[in-house]
């Protein structure tokens, strides 16, 4: 029944590895996002997709590559992981572009060692 689900919930990996986080929403929303929450709880948008099309790409290293196979899925792939990538990553969705009520997933806590 989870509206926005992301996997895995926890991810511990070594520096230099490549990892992916998956996100799926069953709300029928057109717009999906990735947010990063750092150790101080600061939430910042990374990417926004509308109907599989990239809308927002904040200043994020190109090691981060989102992929949206369909409008219900937005996955995040991270290459060459660095210590500074350790954070909680949240997937979110909203009904359509311009509707700013966002529904968040439970988050993926990424720890790079």
Q: Give 23's strand partners.
A: 6
Nearest Cα residue to 106 out of 35, 19, 4: 4
- Round to whole Å and give the CA distance between 14 and 42: 24
Give yes or no for residue 42 binding other proteins (CB under 8 A): yes
Count of CB atoms situated within 10 Å of the CB of 87: 19
Q: Which of residues 11-40 bind other proteins (CB under 8 A)?
A: 31, 33, 40
Q: Please, which residue, 78 or 105, has the CB nearer to other proteins?
A: 105
Q: Please, which residue, 4 or 112, has the CB nearer to other proteins?
A: 4
Applying CB under 8 A, which residues contact other proteins? Answer: 4, 31, 33, 40-45, 48, 55-56, 90, 92, 94, 97-107
């Amino acid at each position: 029944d989870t509206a926005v689900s992301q996997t895995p919930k926890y991810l511990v990996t070594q520096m230099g590895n490549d990892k992916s986080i998956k996100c799926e929403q069953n709300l029928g929303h057109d717009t999906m996002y990735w947010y990063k929450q750092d150790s101080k709880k600061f939430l910042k948008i990374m990417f926004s997709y509308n109907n599989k099309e990239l809308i927002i790409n904040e200043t994020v290293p190109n090691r981060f590559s989102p992929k949206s196979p369909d409008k219900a899925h937005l996955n995040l792939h991270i290459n060459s992981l660095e210590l500074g990538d350790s954070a909680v990553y949240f997937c979110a969705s909203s009904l359509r572009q311009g509707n700013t009520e966002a529904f968040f997933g439970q988050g993926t806590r990424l720890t790079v060692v």
